Amino acid sequence: MTGVGELYLKEIHRQFSYLATWLPNTHLELGDVGLLRGDTFVRETTLGDLGIPFTVRDGGAPVNFTWTSKSGISVETKAAGQAAVGTTIPLAQAGVSVKFSREGAFLFQAVGCLEDSIDNRPTLETHIKNLLLKNRWNRDWTVVDTLVRADRATIIVSNSGDASLDLTAEVPVAPANLTNVSAGFAVNRTRGAVIHFIAAEGLAPLFRLSRVKQSIIQRLLGTKDGTFYRELGGDRGPSSPPEEELLETVSPE
C-alpha cells in the first residue's frame, strides 16, 4: 500500500517538479549524500566528508508555493462571533477548520521561499566520477543539489481517511493565508491522524536530488560488484565515456 508520505511526495512533484521533504521538518543541507527510499531521503554522508568541494548559488527573489489536494480536503474559515457548524472553534474566536475525507490529502503553503543550489555542476561531476572509479561512490547514492528554504510554511497532511484540524486565530484569516504568524494560530482540536506544521519557520520543504546515470555507471564499472569492462580500457582500466552529463535529476518512482 502506498504510504501517506509517498502520496504527498508524488503530488508535490507533479505540481512543482521538486521532491518534498518528508517529514516536512526533516533537516537537509546542500551536499547531503544518501539514498531515496520510498518517500524518505536517508542521509549517509556529505560531499564535504567525501572530500568534494562545491560552491553555492544563492536564491534570488523569494517566491511562494501554494497547493491544496484536488480532492479529499475542505478548508473553512470563520470570523469572531460567527457560528461554524461542525467545528469546535469557540463562537467568540476567529479560526479555520480543515477537514479530510481521504488519506494523504494535504494543504501546502510556503512563503518567502529561496532556492539555493550547487553551482558549477561540471566540476562536481568530475569529482564524483573520480570517486566512482575508485569504488568510493555508491552507485545508488543521490546528492541534494537544490534546496528550497521557506520563511514560513503551513503544511497539513491527513494520515487517515476521516480527519480534521480546528485552529483558532486572534485575527480574521483567509484560506490562502495560513502562514500569517501574526494571526496567532493555535490548535483547538484534532480528530484522526493529522500531521501539521502551522506558520512554521526554518523549514526546507522542497529539494532536488541528482544521481549518476545508470548507463554511465555501466560503461565505467560494468558489473554490480564494480568489475571493470576491460574492453573499454584494456589493462589500463576503463576509459572515459563519450562526453555527456554524468548526473540526472531523481524523480519519484
Q: Which three cell numbers stand for residue 70?
A: 484536488
Strand partners, 146: 117, 208
The conformation of residue 211, written as its DSSP 8-state character, comes to E
The conformation of residue 14, written as its DSSP 8-state character, comes to H
**Coil, strand or helix at 97:** strand
Residue 100 CB burial class (10 angstroms; 0-12, 13-18, ≥19): buried
Residues 147-169: tens digit of each pLDDT: 999 999 999 999 999 999 999 99
pTM of structure: 0.89
Residue in 74, 75, 77, 78 with CA at minimum distance from that of residue 101: 74
* Percent of the chain scoring above 70 in pLDDT: 91
**Coil, strand or helix at 194:** strand
Q: Is 247 in contact with 128 (CB distance < 8 Å)?
A: yes
Residues 39-82: tens digit of each pLDDT: 899 999 999 999 999 999 998 899 999 999 999 999 999 999 99
Confidence of residue 215 (pLDDT cuts 50, 70, 90): confident
Residue in 7, 5, 38 with CA at minimum distance from that of residue 24: 5
d(CA 136, CA 26): 27
Residues 120-151: tens digit of each pLDDT: 999 999 999 999 999 999 999 999 999 999 99
Residues 192-208: tens digit of each pLDDT: 999 999 999 999 999 99
Question: Dihedrals φ, ψ of 37, to 5°?
Answer: -110, 100
